[in-house]
Structure 1
Amino acid sequence: MNRLHPLSAAAYALQYGFLWLSAATILTLVLGGIFGPIDSAWVPIAAPVGLVAGAAYGIAYFYRFEYGITPDTFDVSSGVFARRSREIPYERIQNVDVRQGVVQRLLGLAVVSIETAGGGSTEAALNFVSESEATRLQHQIRTRTADVRDRRHERGRRDASATTDERTIDEASSDTETERTNATTDLDEPVPDAGESAAEPDSTDGTTTSDSGPVSDSRDRVAGPDSRGPRRQHLFALEARELLLYSFTSFRPAAAAALLGLFFFATDLAISLLVSAARPFGGPANLGEGSPTSYGILTVVSVVNGVVTAYVLSVVYTFAAYYDFRLGRAGGDFVYERGLLQRYSGSIPVEKVQSVTVSANPLQRLLGYAGLWVETAGYGPDSDSGGSQSAVPLAERGRVHRFTETLTGVESPRFRSPPTTALRRYLVRYAIVATVVVAAAFAVTRVTVLERWYVAAVVFVAVPPAAYLKYVHLGYYVGEDHLVVRRGFWKQRTTVIPYYRIQTVSTRRSIFQRRLGLASLVVDTASSRSFSRASPTIYDVNLEDARDVHGTGRKRLQTALRERARADDGGPGLTVDFT
């Protein structure tokens, strides 16, 4: 078993030291206000005691943390008082993510996260190991995971061959008993597994191979004589022009959350800056001195400044996060690297991919660009904690469509649109929203000095185009091997789902849909969903069409599963050779 880097002891000592210092301080203050014998003046004594005790616990945690690579599992043992031992089978490992912040890169350290297909949380995290050790772990775990996958596929081929031979033998006459026995004996002989050879023993001495370097490194193309495992091949690199376009045409909600956090911690300074910014446009001279009109101007200026600041933060974050994005392949895995200040590298097993999504917002579509995202078992496409699930953040739309067709083998989709009844439904829906906006404006004029509430009725002008844009961006295609779902205007998503990846197809009908004879189909896969990202849904189709798609999808799902069970290769239905 191995230990973490010695600097991890100092990191854990600081982490637990300040944590216990805070806990001791708060506990002393709370208990001092409840129990008389405890005095809040004890804080100067309790705080250093908590700091020392926490630092001691952090150092003990470092010495009690061990990890190791075994032939079948990756083992981790941790805990000071309560020990926890985990054996993570290689077949469950989905990603080995290596993350480096600015300080970690200066010190030559890295954080290694082991992600499994069981959920969105990290199964094991190594804080910290050296860069060379992180590279060794990432390569060896990836190699062993590929070996497990190859052995499983080889067993599938042997089982399929054995089944075929047994059927042939059963049909032969009884006078061929000896030949049947010999055939059975031959089938029972072990077949060498892919990746297991006497000439290629496991490398556990920390030697890196062709799979360990950056995507563009020369070792990606020429493997060393002692290397094992798949060779890394370059697939895609985000060029400077595409990176800038992606940064300026995307918006990260995390930027707005960060802005709110800054406002919360520096409220007085933020208000002072906003008042100063609004003053040249007629805003109040001071926050407590002004007319209703000046306060209205202050509100408008504050909103504009907030939006612009959040956008700038989003541009900076996206640029830093996807700087030098490179995608490659190593055997049956996508491997990627990205990041300016904080560097990420990891892999996306293609056999874990549940669906492929082409996405683009209106500005990206106007410029002729789109992105390609994949969803894997247990993780969604925006799961930055486990590494980006973006295969191509942004590229020319035609190029992305070719990538998708080659990656999935999907036929050119001929989308079917919902009936016009759905368009009428959207008109009514947005008309109700516009009515609520006008009613709210009227209520505001009743309790403030503002007048002309009827100006808000201009929102009704946007109702027809909003309903039409929602309607024309909906569609679905039922192919021979894939179900393709298109939806969304502000963020148009076209999702390709192989039938064998479908978990359930459920029909949902609201009260209004039942009155109109409509239904929506929700297609679930094994990938997890977040609050902002729902399952691919075919919206507002006729009930008869919904039932037909439901039945067709169920039949083709069973057919796809049978075909995959009979396939000789037993391999994934997707390919990593999409360039």
Structure 2
Amino acid sequence: MTDSSTHRLHPLSAVTTTLRSAVVGLSMPFFLVSVLSAVFDAVSVTWALYLAPIGLLVGAGYGLAYYYRFEYGLTDDTVDVASGVFSRRAREIPYRRIQNVDVRQGVFHRVAGLAVVSIETAGGGETEAALDFVGEDEAKRLQREIRRRTARRPDEAEADTDTSAPATRPTTAPDETDQHERESERDHPWSGQASALTDSGLESATTRTETGTEAPFEDDQPTLLFALDARELLLYAFTTVRPAAAASVLALAFFFTSQVEALLLATAQPFGGPASFTDATPSGYVALGLASAINGVVVTYAVSVAYTFATYYDFRLGRAGDDFVYERGLLQRYSGSVPSEKVQSVTITDNPLQRALGYAGLWVETAGYGPDSSGGSTSAVPLARVERVQTFAENLTGTEPPRFESPPAVARRRYFVRYALVAAVLVGVAFGISSLTGFGTEYWYLSVAVFLAVPPAAHIRYVNLGYSVGDDHLVIRRGFWRRRTTVIPYYRIQTVSNRRSIFQRRLGLTSVVVDTASSQTFVWKTPTIYDVDLEDGRIVASTGRKRLQTALRERREATDEGPRFSVDFT
């Protein structure tokens, strides 16, 4: 059946849009008049007092018109969104391009029963369409309907369009018992699932009818796969450092400049810091700089812990048909879905502290925009015991435990030279500071001790690199501070190439870059096999290209075009 009717946003959206546009319209005359009065003497600043009411009315009218001109609807093949007052924009988003359907609820939204629905598509660096905002029940309906139509197979679509086919669901009104069950499921969408928490983790389960067959997708409620318990949430918060927290600290420093200055001066004075920024010796400025850096690190870490805790509070991952669905958030609640057939690769992540405690995380990547980064990365398991995460990855991708190949020993010597040059620069900086400021003149040479860290740093870099060329998957491991082990099916590979720097050419090394449809971002770089022997690198690239063609041919010939990633990976 085609849902050809169009819908408008929630009536409260008209209120917020009108108020927002009215504020812009009210402030615009003040800005324009102030600029023009500085250029033309004939323009008086008092004009803004007369123009502001007009701007207020025009802005309010525009916001109201925008609300009534915004429409959306679902068809058999697309999600249609039309917007714009003077310049109309109509978008038809095919279901096959949709990667994620996210529902976001802030504190105000949750109190008012509202939500923001974001539709993310393949290859997009930003949200394709956002419905800001709709009712909570309408958001769940859209998420469920888009998920159902996205996962529908071609033969099912033909059956739906066959008018001679019998109806699969009754057209009569539901009785009171069915209505009560629907309301209960709506209020508790994750309840009543055949899953149970045990001491060793979450038992796997599937949603089936009494006859043993899979229940119809449209009737399925999410089956719980993984839930982040309180201990894992606290460990994840305290062992994760988010660079974005630094931006929040800088914003706080901008708005509370005087308080921040007083705090920095107070913490630096016991260590020889100045009493004011304008009256200090060179050594006092150095002490102030060190104290400021320590304060910045401590505050940034505290903000990171709070942000991570609030973001992943009550994290739950489930399955609905062939889709992964998730919910998380304390103050701002998120829920979304990721079709398993859209997953490009799977990555196990950890950092030194998490490795020491025996924990790791699991991420899946799609080809479009994702809620957890500027790319298509979505956290499937934020943190769990490393044995469980490895089992999850193996079950999800169908790969065996990899046997990693290491780069040649000459690569370790390359890292030794690289880090020795970095140490030399640090010693030079210490000598320069002592010479210019007189701070630590007698002790600058102690900075030479940084060279002691060069051999272990080179070794740690070397031992954390590895790759495994499997029959169906390519596995790449790299990184130390945030180690990533990525499993890439051959049929998801876009290109495989060898890249060599001038230093690698001198040593006979190369790096193998494996591109997928996932977006490359600042955080998630393209999976790369670093510093392997040139001949080995060429063999890996050639093997990857051949198995890519073989995998694509097998998929075209296969009769079952279902997802290759298991939705019951627990």
Fold match, TM over 0.5?
yes
Q: Name which of 109, 117, 120 aligns with 1:115.
A: 120
Aligned match of 2:57? 52
1:357 equivalenced with 2:347 (yes/no) = yes
Query: For 1:537-552, what aligned pairs fall within 5 Å after superposition?
Result: 537-552=528-543
Instruction: Assess if the C-alpha contact under 8 Å between 1:445 and 1:453 holds in 2.
Output: yes
Deviation beyond 6 Å, 4+ runs, structure 1: 190-194, 201-205, 207-211, 219-223
1:127 match: secondary structure: strand
Structure 1 residues 446 and 304, CA gap change in structure 2 (3 angstroms)? same
SS of structure 1 residue aligned to 2:368: coil
Indicate the residue corresponding to 1:413 in structure 2: 402
Contact residue 368 and residue 375 of structure 2 kept, 8 A: no
For 1:308, the aligned partner's letter is: V
1:102 counterpart residue number: 107
Q: Distance in 2 between matches of 1:567 and 1:51?
A: 62
> Residue 216 of structure 1 aligns with which residue?
190
Task: Identify the residue that residue 198 of structure 2 maps to in structure 1.
Answer: none
Q: Is 1:144 matched with 2:118?
A: no
- Corresponding residue number in structure 1 for 2:197: none
Give per-residue Cα distances to partners, 1:79-99, cap 9 Å, x unaligned.
011111111122222221110
The residue aligned with 2:301 is 311
Over 3 Å counting, the alpha-carbon distance change for 1:537 and 1:368 in structure 2 is same
Contact in 1 for aligned 2:123/2:369 (Cα 8 Å): no
Task: Find 1:422's aligned residue among 411, 429, 447.
Answer: 411
Could you tell me how far apart the structure 1 residues matched to 2:388 and 2:245 are? Answer: 30
Residue 433 to residue 385, structure 1, CA distance change in 2 (3 Å) = closer
Going from structure 1 to structure 2, the CA distance change for 1:533 and 1:22 (only over 3 Å counts) comes to farther
**Does the aligned pair in 2 maintain the 1:210–1:222 contact within 8 Å?**
no
Instruction: Give me the whole-angstrom Cα distance separating, in 2, the residues matched to 1:43 and 1:211.
Output: 55
Q: List runs of 5+ in structure 1 lacking aligned partners.
A: 156-189
What is the match of residue 390 of structure 2? Answer: 401
Map 1:442-457 → 2, pairs under 5 A: 442-450=431-439, 451=441, 452-457=443-448
CA contact (8 A) 1:327 1:335 kept: yes
Aligned amino acid, residue 358 of structure 2:
G
Alignment TM-score, normalising by the size of structure 2:
0.89
Shift in alpha-carbon separation, 1:378–1:226, aligned structure 2, 3 A: closer
How far residue 565 of structure 1 moved from its aligned partner, in angstroms, is 1.5
Q: Which moved more, 1:441-450 or 1:269-278?
A: 441-450
User: CA–CA distance in 1 between the matches of 2:455 and 2:142?
Assistant: 57
Give a deviation string over 1:126-167, Cα, whole Å, max 9, x none: 1111111111111111112122xx116x79xxxxxxxxxxxx
Asked if the contact 2:185/2:191 (under 8 Å) is kept, the reply is no
Pick closer, same or farther for the CA change 1:385–1:432 going to 2, 3 Å.
closer
Q: Which amino acid aligns with 2:539?
A: D
Q: How does 1:143-542 map to 2 (within 5 A)?
A: 143-147=148-152, 150-151=153-154, 198-200=167-169, 216-218=190-192, 228-379=218-369, 382-383=372-373, 389-450=378-439, 451=441, 452-542=443-533
Q: Contact between 1:143 and 1:230, CA under 8 Å: does it hold in 2?
A: no
Q: Secondary structure at the match of 2:128?
A: strand
Note the C-alpha offset of 1:297. Answer: 2.5
Alignment partner, residue 202 of structure 2: none
Q: 1:314-359: per-residue Cα shift (whole Å, max 9, x none)?
A: 0000000000000000111000000000000000111010000000
- SS in structure 2 of the partner of residue 316 of structure 1: helix
Cα distance in structure 2, aligned partners of 1:3 and 1:151: 30
The answer as to whether partners of 2:265 and 2:288 remain within 8 angstroms in 1 is yes
1:80-123 CA-to-partner distances (Å, cap 9, x unmatched) read: 11111111122222221110001111111110111111312111
Contact map agreement 1:408 1:574 (CA 8 A) in 2: yes
Q: Structure 1 residues 191, 274: CA separation in 2 closer, same or farther (over 3 Å shift)?
A: closer
When residues 22 and 464 of structure 1 are mapped into structure 2, their CA distance, relative to the original with a 3 A threshold, is farther
What is the rounded CA distance, in whole Å, between the counterparts of 1:408 and 1:203 in structure 2? 43
Cα offset for 1:214? 5.2
Q: CA deviation at 1:253?
A: 1.0
Deviation at 1:232, TM superposition (A): 2.1
For residues 344 and 171 of structure 2, what CA distance do their matches in structure 1 show? 31
User: Deviation of residue 222 (structure 1)?
Assistant: 8.9
The equivalent of 1:10 in structure 2 is 15
Deviation sequence 1:20-69 (CA, Å, 0-9, x none): 33433222211211122222333333444333322221111111111112
Equivalent pair of 1:28/1:46 in contact (CA under 8 Å): no
TM-aligned CA distance change 1:63 to 1:219, over 3 Å: farther
Look up the match of 2:72.
67
The alpha carbon displacement at 1:443 in A equals: 2.5
Alpha-carbon shift at residue 549 of structure 1 (Å): 0.4
Q: Deviations over 1:362-404 (max 9, x none)?
A: 0000000000000001236833798x71100000000000000
Q: Kindly provide the CA deviation profile for residues 435-459 of structure 1, in whole angstroms up to 9, marking residues without a partner as x.
A: 1122222232333222243232222
Q: Deviations over 1:543-567 (max 9, x none)?
A: 0000100111111111111111122
Distance 2:375 2:519 in 1: 13
* Alpha-carbon spacing, 1:238–1:354, altered in 2? closer, same or farther (3 Å): same
Q: CA RMSD in A?
A: 2.7
Give 2:100's aligned amino acid.
Answer: N
Contact kept in structure 2, 1:211 and 1:230, CA below 8 Å: no
Counting only pairs closer than 5 Å after superposition, residues 125-144 of structure 1 correspond to structure 2 as 125-144=130-149
TM-score, structure 1 normalization? 0.87
Distance verdict in 2 for CA 1:458–1:42, change over 3 Å: farther
Quote the offset at 1:209 in angstroms.
8.6
Partner SS state of residue 407, structure 1: helix
Aligned residue for 1:114, secondary structure, equals strand
CA distance in 2, matches of 1:261, 1:561: 49
Alpha carbons of structure 1 residues 543 and 232: separation in structure 2 relative to 1, 3 Å: same
Instruction: Report what 1:163 is aligned to.
Output: none
Q: Give, in whole Å, the separation in 2 of the partners of 1:358 and 1:193.
A: 42
Q: Aligned partners of 2:524, 2:391: CA distance in 1, in Å? A: 25
Residue-by-residue CA offset, 1:506-555 (whole Å, 9 max, x unaligned):
11000000000000011000011112321000000010000100111111
1:79 is aligned to 84
- AA aligned to 1:437 is L
Q: Pick closer, same or farther for the CA change 1:327–1:344 going to 2, 3 Å.
A: same
Instruction: Describe the SS at the equivalent of 1:304.
Output: helix
Using the alignment, how far apart are the partners of 1:129 and 1:396 within structure 2? 39
| Cα distance change of structure 1 residues 144 and 128 upon mapping to structure 2, 3 Å threshold | same
Q: 1:247·1:318 contact (CA, 8 Å) conserved in 2?
A: yes
1:574 Cα offset (Å)? 1.2
CA deviation map 1:412-462 (0-9, x unaligned): 111000001100100111111111122222232333222243232222111
Quote the offset at 1:197 in angstroms. 5.7
- What's the secondary structure of 2:496's corresponding residue? strand
Alpha carbons 2:363, 2:380 under 8 Å: kept: yes
Gap change, CA 1:553 and 1:193, over 3 Å in 2: farther
How far apart are residue 216 of structure 1 and its match?
2.8
CA–CA distance in structure 1, aligned partners of residues 67 and 168 of structure 2: 38
Unaligned runs of 5+ in 2: 1-5, 195-206, 210-214
In 1: Cα distance, 2:71 partner to 2:562 partner: 35
Question: C-alpha distance in 2, partners of 1:283/1:358?
Answer: 45
Q: Counterparts of 1:4 and 1:380 in 2: how far apart (Å)? A: 24
Aligned length: 539
Going from structure 1 to structure 2, the CA distance change for 1:222 and 1:424 (only over 3 Å counts) comes to closer
